[in-house]
Structure 1
Amino acid sequence: MRFMPRAQLLTLEELALVGQAFVELGVTKIRLTGGEPLVRKNILQLIQTLGNLAGLKELVLTTNGSQLPKMAQSLQAAGIKRINISLDSLKPDRFQELSRVDKLEVVLRGIEAAIQAGFQRIKINTVILKNRNHDEVIDLTQFAIQQGIDISFIEAMPIGIIGDHNRAETFYSNDQIRQDLKQAFTLIPTTETTGGPARYYQIIDTHTRVGFISPHSHNFCETCNRVRVTTEGRLLLCLGQENAVDLRRIIRAHPGEIEPLKQAIVKAIDMKPKGHDFNLERSTQILRHMNVTGG
């Protein structure tokens, strides 16, 4: 893996300025995601700064869990309210194959550390692939129930070029997952929302909710109000489109000035597309991978 040259990345101060600009424009929720945001040096400094923004109601984090054994308590103290942890398998060999790192035991310890830290809500994010890990749908859900946390199943998005499987052949819809879960659990639809695309069901007689994020089988573009700012300062108006605005150029042309940045954001939001154009039968249109998208 090659890391991006430091000069291409927004500094922590520049990232904080972006966060401030969005909050001053009315945004009430910020999520730090990746890649893996917790490997960024001095990330707690950024989290504390964002957590202190007047008007921000919720600061949340998505992580692969590898840094949580040593950072969970500090993250909670710094202002993180909710945390999502990626977990696609409970089998060590399969976990390594899917994630390309041999860290299942570390991630499981990270989940335990997050529980002990006392976040308002903890959720597992799981991507299910047919003939890869679809036989673990019930086991992963049972694990969430045992831990007293939530789980969301996310349909794989056709982002980035891959060579180890055919997306159309490995696609496993959330409708199929729901049918699998009904064999073992009773799911009750809820009206709960975290402001994102997930549709939640309560598992009866448990504290666990199951969420389904379905960009293919149940497109949610009409309700999407999310944008993403990458670590390079690219404002992505849709994960399923390549159109973006270079906020880094604006920030560095007007050091420390927030008004030009706010004006650029407002202008960009007017260009937010109506939706993505995902098609499993076509060649990949989005060449960037999620692990370099960040945000």
Structure 2
Amino acid sequence: MANQFEDSFHRKFYYLRLSVTDVCNFKCTYCLPDGYKPAEKQKPSFLSLEEIKRVTAAFAECGTTKVRITGGEPSLRRDFTDIIHTVASQPGINKVAMTTNGYRMAKHAQEWRDAGLTNINVSVDSLDPKMFYQITGENMFHQVMSGIDAAFDAGFEQVKINTVLLKDLNSQELPKFLNWIKSRPIQLRFIELMQTGEMDELFNRHHVSGVSIRNYLIANGWVLKVRHKNDGPAQVFCHPDYQGEIGLIMPYEKNFCQSCNRLRVSAKGKLHLCLFGEHGVDLRDLLESDGQRSALIDRIQNGLQEKAVSHFLDAGETGMTPHLASIGG
């Protein structure tokens, strides 16, 4: 095995977030309020199955054990099941996750599970169908709920639900969400709204700090769980009276980046060292053949030496990211 990917701050990287498309069919207020618009006039060329195989193999060789397939909406790819199988077939990869808006889950959850998907995250920003429509721009609440049921039926032991907290929209729904997970093995992850280049006004209007929810949880008997080395950034809490769990993702908290263990590759083949930050390191020219793997690994490792100690969001710097769909959230 090649050397473990490591940056100049001795952070090791076990977790790859691999975007396979930046296209999405939802119009979430905090991400793509006007819907998806291609960055170029010509048809975008997203990573092919062979390129996905090569980049995943390089990361696996350097200690990555978990790959999350993201978008946009990754299941919009016609070859999505093949992508899962390709990633899951790489030696060393023992966790293959996806993040989805859930609109195709009811039909395909079993097929994805059979292809090697081990973990599933679904974005559900409200348990009220009207508010769900207001936030996502799509009237698909019941379809998404059916998809979650289908995921459990397919054998997923836990489903993670991502909810972006929005003041004056869904921030009053905490009791409803807690009731929902009392008897279901759902990890409900509240994500603080993050400021990106195009979202200043929305951020100022709707940002809610996750600290207030953490204080509420601790006061009501929830206990922080131990974090594993390929886990995501959530602080996860459990409670003896609840089958479900609560995860808090609070990027504005001091030292949020201290335990960073993940890297991102965009749907066009760029390595992004941070969700917020830089132009990215182009890898695509080294994904043309299997014989380029050493050069690919070297380029990723060299790029890692440029990874900053933090994203500096707390200082109001939002970096180059125009919206979260552009490099897979």
TM-score by length of 2: 0.82
CA RMSD of aligned residues (A): 2.2
Structure 1 residue runs of 5 or longer lacking an equivalent are none
CA contact 1:13–1:46 (8 Å) conserved in 2: no
CA contact 1:202–1:210 (8 Å) conserved in 2: yes
Cα distance, 1:242 vs structure 2: 2.0
1:294 aligns with 2:319: no
Aligned length: 291
Deviations for 1:186-234, whole angstroms, at most 9, x for unmatched residues?
3122214462211111122222111111101344101102110010111
Taking the aligned partners of 1:283 and 1:197, their CA distance within structure 2 comes to: 20
Taking the aligned partners of 2:293 and 2:178, their CA distance within structure 1 comes to: 44
Taking the aligned partners of 2:37 and 2:166, their CA distance within structure 1 comes to: 27
2:115 maps to which residue? 78
Deviations for 1:132-179, whole angstroms, at most 9, x for unmatched residues?
11001221222122433111111111124037x441342211111234
Residues 283 and 112 of structure 1, relative CA distance in 2, 3 Å threshold? same
Greater shift in the superposed pair: 267-276 or 64-73 = 267-276
1:98 aligns with 2:135: yes
Amino acid at match of 1:188: V
1:204 maps to which residue? 240
Greater shift in the superposed pair: 172-181 or 127-136 = 172-181
1:134 maps to which residue? 171
1:42 aligns with 2:79: yes
Greater shift in the superposed pair: 222-231 or 171-180 = 171-180
Which residue, 263, 269, 284 being the options, matches 2:304?
A: 269
CA contact 1:158–1:286 (8 Å) conserved in 2: no
CA contact 2:191–2:249 (8 Å) conserved in 1: yes
Which residue, 212, 235, 242 being the options, matches 2:278?
A: 242
Taking the aligned partners of 2:53 and 2:158, their CA distance within structure 1 comes to: 24
Cα distance, 1:43 vs structure 2: 1.0
Taking the aligned partners of 1:251 and 1:109, their CA distance within structure 2 comes to: 38
Instruction: Identify which of structures 1 and 2 has the higher relative contact order when contacts are C-alpha pairs closer than 8 Å and 6+ apart.
Output: 2
Taking the aligned partners of 1:79 and 1:174, their CA distance within structure 2 comes to: 33
TM-score by length of 1: 0.90
Which residue, 187, 212, 226 being the options, matches 1:191?
A: 226
1:89 aligns with 2:126: yes
> 3-state DSSP class of the match of 2:150?
helix
1:226 maps to which residue? 262
1:259 maps to which residue? 294
Taking the aligned partners of 2:319 and 2:304, their CA distance within structure 1 comes to: 22
Taking the aligned partners of 1:39 and 1:29, their CA distance within structure 2 comes to: 22
> 3-state DSSP class of the match of 2:99?
strand
1:177 aligns with 2:252: no
Percentage of matched positions with identical amino acids: 34
Taking the aligned partners of 1:169 and 1:7, their CA distance within structure 2 comes to: 33
1:108 aligns with 2:145: yes
CA contact 2:101–2:144 (8 Å) conserved in 1: yes
